[in-house]
Each structure stands twice: as structure tokens, then as C-alpha cells.
């Protein structure tokens, strides 16, 4: 069973954010990992201070979309939501690890994980098939 996220106070979140080393663009790498076995890495995305603050405050994972230049609440279009279980900051403060309860798939290709290409002596090999068609995740308006 996945534990429930207990958000820190606003003042504690502010202290946490001061420890994060955002890059020159104001972003930090965020790795989403399944909070349940087998705890696979689901995706890598980016967070700005607002996205990280919202995630830590609400428990619903929010990223920063570099292509759209705005906050991206995981699942707002696809319904494939990530609920925060716990978060960790690495030793240098320049990466965040999010343990999440993934609802549906994490990858826009319809796969559970974005890491579905294995490096082999023969080149890249797909190690997972889509669980859902991308056009079902993102229907045209």
C-alpha cells in the first residue's frame, strides 16, 4: 500500500525551496519514480520554483513545460495523473526525486515509463509496448 503524502507547512516549503539549485533558466530536473514495486523510473521532467511549490503544497505533481513555457499539471490533458507520495532533494540540490502514485501511464507515447528504449550492442531496442494509443491520451479538439 502506498503511503499518504503529508505536506510541509508553507514556511518549511519556503526553506526547502531555498536549498534547491535552480539552473540559469530557473529549472531543476525532476525524476518521477513509481512509489510501488518494482519502483521503476517513470520519467524525467523539469520544475521551476512555482511547480515545485505547488507539488509540495498540493501533493499533485506539477512540472514546468519548456515547450509551452508554463506550468504543466501532470494529467491535465491526458488524465494520467501523478500523486506525490514523497520527495527528495539530491546532495547538490540540483535534482529532485519524486516518488509518485502513477494513475495510468507516464509517457506521452502511451507507455508506463518514458524509458522504454534499451541500449544494446545492436543499437536501441524497445523494451515496452504502448499500453494505450497516444491519440486516446491526447484527442484532437
Residues placed in the known binding site for Mg(2+):
90, 92, 94
- Each residue's pLDDT tens digit, 1-24: 567 899 999 999 999 999 999 999
Per-residue pLDDT at 136: 87
Q: Which residues participate in the annotated binding site for Zn(2+)?
A: 91, 107, 114
Global confidence as pTM = 0.92
φ/ψ region of 140 (left if φ > 0, alpha if ψ in -120 to 50, else beta) reads beta
| Coil, helix or strand at residue 135 | helix
Residues making up the annotated binding site are: 90-92, 94, 107, 114
H-helix segments, the chain: 10-19, 49-58, 134-137
The string of pLDDT tens digits covering residues 79-134 is 899 999 999 999 999 999 999 999 999 999 999 999 999 999 999 999 999 999 98
pLDDT in tens, 52-80: 999 999 999 999 999 999 999 998 888 89
CA atoms within 13 A on the CB side of 118: 8
Amino acid at each position: 500500500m502506498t503511503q499518504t503524502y503529508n505536506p510541509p507547512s508553507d514556511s518549511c516549503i519556503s526553506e526547502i525551496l531555498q536549498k534547491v539549485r535552480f539552473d540559469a533558466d530557473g529549472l531543476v530536473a525532476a525524476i518521477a519514480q513509481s512509489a510501488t514495486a518494482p519502483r521503476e523510473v517513470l520519467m524525467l521532467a523539469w520544475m521551476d520554483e512555482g511547480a515545485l511549490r505547488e507539488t509540495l503544497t498540493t501533493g499533485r505533481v506539477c512540472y514546468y513545460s519548456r515547450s509551452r513555457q508554463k506550468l504543466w499539471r501532470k494529467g491535465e490533458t491526458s488524465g494520467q495523473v501523478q500523486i506525490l507520495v514523497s520527495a527528495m532533494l539530491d546532495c547538490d540540490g540540483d535534482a529532485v526525486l519524486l516518488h509518485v502514485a502513477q494513475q495510468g501511464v507516464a509517457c506521452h507515447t502511451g507507455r508506463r515509463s518514458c524509458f522504454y528504449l534499451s541500449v544494446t550492442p545492436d543499437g536501441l531496442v524497445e523494451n515496452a509496448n504502448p499500453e494505450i494509443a497516444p491519440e486516446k491520451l491526447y484527442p484532437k479538439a
